[in-house]
Structure 1
Amino acid sequence: MKKLKFPSAQTILLIIAGLVTLLTWVIPAGKYETLGYNSADNTFTKTGITETENLPATQQTLENLNIKIPLEKFTNGDIYKPINIPNTYHQLKAKPQGFFDFVKSPIKGVIEAADIIFLVLIIGGLIGIINSTGAFDAGIGWLANALKGREFILIIFVTILVAAGGTTFGFAEETIAFFPILIPVFLAARYDAIVGIACIFLGSTIGTMCSTINPFSVIIASDAAGIAWKTGIWGRLFMLLACLTIALIYIIRYGKRVQNDPTKSIVYDQHQQIAALFKHDKKVIDFNGRLRLALIVFTLCFIVMIYGVVSIQGFWYTEMTATFLVGAIIIGVIAKIKETDFIDTFVRGASDLLGVALIIGIARGVTVIMVDGLISDTLLYYASSATEGMNKGVFASAMTAVYAGLSFFIPSSSGMAVLTMPIMSPLADSVGIGREIVVNAYQYGMGLFYMINPTGLILASLAVVKIGFDKWLKFIMPLFITLVVFTLIVMTISCYL
């Protein structure tokens, strides 16, 4: 009897899309009324179930709608998406999604995620160009020699650096660019690909989970909850340091086992396949000035990306994609690559990440089905009703679990914040705790589930290195359970401090 093989990332997501399609036939359709700010004429637009009206952009308008958010949070752009208005949920006529809606959802998802998909493809092209120059091979060889006997420094450095990006500006989707670059470095250090994925993906996940000044997470959530974003920052900083420490110990111990005995690797049966995928020429390459300059330009692309996202207003996927495209062209000129060879190499590099791009689009398609089937707000309504009036400690843990569950359907941190905070944050008042507890529950719940959330980024990340979701679960589950227990204990204690 043939051994059953765990399905691919694309198949897993299509199965999930099919199940969500069936849920639209079971879960009642419903929707909250929304409020959006118009900067052009300084008014609010209240979108109801059957009609839309313009309202004056005043604090009195917000109070009349039971929205406890300062007006300046809208006028200065902190809240830039329409928010749900509390106590306005209406059940609507069911809108179940059919077979053709299911079939069209991946296509709609690809269209909606076109910005990040193009970013991934252009990054693939850039990596193809830098690999063809030999600069990357030379750099890996140099780094492997420099770290000999101290490879654990690589784990600590990469994880902390990526976590710093996550906690400050929400470094998440951008990490896709780093897998093809850093995995060969980890392999050269005698680790396996799982260690590389863990350092990059978990670093980003824990950083965003324990966001301190991340505008796309803690700041927008605090604004939507009607509190200052600095409220509760010391608790989040403690969680960041504690969770990072736990994760680093776990990764380093696993990595040491693999170094001592490669057969202990969870992906040992794929050792040759992964090595071939990320093979680099082991012969000595003269790390000359031309190759050094190519690597400098390559590195500058990522520095420009990070600086632009953090410091330049409106610098987003289009600008990031253009940065990597220009970088690839400059490297081609430096390496004196012929025009036809440049195009062929760039296209081959982009095609290597085409599977990753499609996974991102299919995952977005799951959200499309929910929105079209009008069940997103229904799930939020029942989740808020279930936690109302609970004991403090139970409420904090339950709210964390609720946000973990909701993140399966709404994987966007900013989207989750504006949709749920106006509804969820007032529940803290009813149990006698600060609203920052709800903000923390939102962050920790989303962050913890993100580690294994198939509608998040993990399947796309694993696809880069051709590793199955089942093998990731085998690696991550002991750490995941440890972090869940630790987080729930911290959340319960924080309610009584």
Structure 2
Amino acid sequence: MKKLKFPTAQTILIIIAGLVAMLTWFVPSGKYDSLSYSKSENTFTQTSLSKTTTLTASQETLDVLEIKIPLQKFTSGDIWKPISIPNTYKQVEAKPQGIFAFIKSPIKGIIEGADIIFLVLFIGGIIGVINYTNAFDAGIAWLAKTLKGYEYVLIILVTTLIAIGGTTFGLAEETIAFYPILIPIFLAAKYDAMVPLASIYIGSSIGTMCSTTNPFSSIIASDAAGINWTTGISGRFIMLGLGTLICILYIIRYAQRVKKDPAKSIIYDQKEEIEQHFGNATNSDLTLTTRLRLILFVFISCFIVMIYGVSQMEWWFLEMTVVFFIGAIAIGIIGQIKEHIFVDLFVKGAGDLLGVAIIIGIARGITILMNDGQISDTILFYASNATTGMHKGLFINAMLYIYGGLSFFIPSSSGMAVLTMPIMSPLADGVGIGRELIVNAYQYGMGIFAFINPTGLILASLAIVKVGYNKWLKFVMPLVIILTLFTMAALTISVYL
């Protein structure tokens, strides 16, 4: 009898999509009314199932609707998405998603996720072009010599820098670009591919989990909760520092064990396959010429420009994709690559990441199934009612788990904030704690579950590294348990301070 293999990321997501479609047959459909602000008209629009009402954009309107958010948060553009209106939930006619809706959901998801999908494909294109020049191989060989004996510095630097990106401007989807670059460097340092995967993904996860100035998480959630985003920021900085330290020590401990004995690697059976795919460059004969240095400079500059644009100029996936496209052309010119060869390299490189793009689309399709089945608001309604009458210590920890569970259905941090904060944050008033603690529970709950959330980014990341979800769970679950206990202790202490 052949040994059963763990299913691929695509199959896992298709199974989840099927289960979600079945869920729409059993969970009652329901909706909250929503409120959106029109800057051009300076009016609010209240949308319910039966009608749409235009309201005066005033604080009085917000007070009548029991929305405890200052008007200025809307007029300044801090809240740019429709928010849920408290106490407006109502059950509606069921919209169960049948077999045809299930089959269409991945296609709908690919169409809806076209922005990030094209970014991934163009990143694959530029990787294909730069690999042809041998610039990566030469740079990795040079770095391996430079860091000899101090390879662990790579783990500290990568995890810390990506965590900083996560906490400041929500570096998450963009990290997909880093895997093809950093994995060969870590392999040359005699680590396995799990180490760069962990450094990048866990760095991003702990950073976004402990967001401080992240506009897509802490700022929009605080605004939607009706508090200043700086309220509670000192506690988040402490969580960021301690959480990042725990993650770095965890990764280093595993990395050093693998370095001493490669057979201790969780993915040891894939060692040759992964090294062959990523080209474990340790060839000391490769020389980092001026031309190759210039190519690497252009490539690294793409990331610097991308990060600056996202954090300072409100860029999104379209602009990021253009940066990598221009970078690929510039590298082709510097590398004196003929036009027909350049096109072949770019297309082949994009094709290498097509599987990742499809995973992103299928995951997006799951969200579409839930929205079309109108069960997301129902789950939110029952989750908010579940905490009624709880002691504040139990309440805040229940919120942690509720947000972790909700993030399976709503993996978007900004989407979660505007949907849930107007409903959840007033619950803090009833138990006598600050609303910033609800923001913390939202961030920490989503953040911890993000380490393993199959509807988030992890399956797409694993597909790039060619590591199975089961092996990732084996690696990361002890860390998830440690962080969960640490976070519960921190939240419990915070409600009594």
- Same fold, TM exceeding 0.5? yes
Question: Retained in 2: the 8 A contact 1:120–1:177?
Answer: yes
Question: Retained in 2: the 8 A contact 1:217–1:414?
Answer: yes
Code of the residue aligned with 2:347 in structure 1: it is V
Query: Could you list the per-position Cα deviations for residues 150-175 of structure 1 after superposition, in whole angstroms to 9, with x for gaps in the alignment?
Result: 01100000000000000000000000
Code of the residue aligned with 2:308 in structure 1: it is Y
**In 2, Cα distance between equivalents of 1:93 and 1:81:** 25
Partner of 2:135: 135
Query: Could you list the per-position Cα deviations for residues 227-252 of structure 1 after superposition, in whole angstroms to 9, with x for gaps in the alignment?
Result: 00011111111110111111111100
Partner of 2:228: 228
**In 2, Cα distance between equivalents of 1:270 and 1:48:** 53
Code of the residue aligned with 1:330 in structure 2: it is A
Code of the residue aligned with 2:111 in structure 1: it is I
Code of the residue aligned with 1:181 in structure 2: it is I
**Residue 94 in structure 1 maps to residue 94 in structure 2:** yes
Give the drift of 1:117: 0.2
Q: CA RMSD in A?
A: 0.6
SS at match of 1:44: strand
Partner of 1:287: 288
Give the drift of 1:286: 2.2
Question: Retained in 1: the 8 A contact 2:29–2:378?
Answer: yes
Partner of 1:174: 174
Question: Retained in 2: the 8 A contact 1:389–1:427?
Answer: no
Query: Could you list the per-position Cα deviations for residues 449-481 of structure 1 after superposition, in whole angstroms to 9, with x for gaps in the alignment?
Result: 000000000000000011100000000011110
**In 2, Cα distance between equivalents of 1:285 and 1:271:** 23
Question: Retained in 2: the 8 A contact 1:167–1:211?
Answer: yes
**In 2, Cα distance between equivalents of 1:424 and 1:369:** 24
Q: Superposition pairs for residues 365-376 of structure 1, below 5 Å?
A: 365-376=365-376
SS at match of 2:256: helix
**Residue 484 in structure 1 maps to residue 488 in structure 2:** no
Query: Could you list the per-position Cα deviations for residues 323-364 of structure 1 after superposition, in whole angstroms to 9, with x for gaps in the alignment?
Result: 000000000000000000000000110011100010000000
Give the drift of 1:280: 4.6
Partner of 2:19: 19
**In 1, Cα distance between equivalents of 2:469 and 2:232:** 35
**In 1, Cα distance between equivalents of 2:463 and 2:484:** 26
**In 2, Cα distance between equivalents of 1:298 and 1:147:** 21
Output the TM-score relative to the length of structure 1. Answer: 0.99
**In 2, Cα distance between equivalents of 1:329 and 1:260:** 42
Give the drift of 1:389: 2.6
Partner of 1:359: 359
**Residue 300 in structure 1 maps to residue 301 in structure 2:** yes
**In 2, Cα distance between equivalents of 1:111 and 1:281:** 37
**In 2, Cα distance between equivalents of 1:12 and 1:282:** 36
**In 2, Cα distance between equivalents of 1:293 and 1:222:** 44
**In 1, Cα distance between equivalents of 2:125 and 2:488:** 43
Question: Retained in 1: the 8 A contact 2:141–2:281?
Answer: no
Q: Superposition pairs for residues 95-134 of structure 1, below 5 Å?
A: 95-134=95-134
Give the drift of 1:289: 0.9
Code of the residue aligned with 1:472 in structure 2: it is W
Q: Superposition pairs for residues 53-452 of structure 1, below 5 Å?
A: 53-283=53-283, 284-313=285-314, 315-452=315-452
Give the drift of 1:78: 0.4
**In 1, Cα distance between equivalents of 2:406 and 2:150:** 41
SS at match of 1:69: coil
**In 2, Cα distance between equivalents of 1:65 and 1:365:** 33
Output the TM-score relative to the length of structure 2. Answer: 0.99
Query: Could you list the per-position Cα deviations for residues 112-156 of structure 1 after superposition, in whole angstroms to 9, with x for gaps in the alignment?
Result: 100000000000000111111111100000001111000110000
Code of the residue aligned with 1:310 in structure 2: it is S
Give the drift of 1:376: 0.4
Question: Retained in 2: the 8 A contact 1:121–1:350?
Answer: yes
- In the alignment of these two chains, the number of paired residues is 496
Give the drift of 1:260: 0.2
Runs of 4 or more above 6 Å deviation = none
Question: Retained in 2: the 8 A contact 1:85–1:422?
Answer: yes
Give the drift of 1:282: 4.1
Code of the residue aligned with 2:302 in structure 1: it is C
Identity within the alignment, %:
67
Question: Retained in 2: the 8 A contact 1:305–1:323?
Answer: yes
SS at match of 1:360: helix
**In 1, Cα distance between equivalents of 2:351 and 2:395:** 47
**In 2, Cα distance between equivalents of 1:223 and 1:389:** 26
Unaligned stretches of 5+ residues in structure 2: none
SS at match of 1:387: coil
**In 1, Cα distance between equivalents of 2:281 and 2:68:** 60
Query: Could you list the per-position Cα deviations for residues 11-57 of structure 1 after superposition, in whole angstroms to 9, with x for gaps in the alignment?
Result: 00000000000000000000000000001110000001200010010
Code of the residue aligned with 2:82 in structure 1: it is P
Question: Retained in 1: the 8 A contact 2:140–2:281?
Answer: no
Query: Could you list the per-position Cα deviations for residues 409-455 of structure 1 after superposition, in whole angstroms to 9, with x for gaps in the alignment?
Result: 00000000000000000000000000011000000000000000000
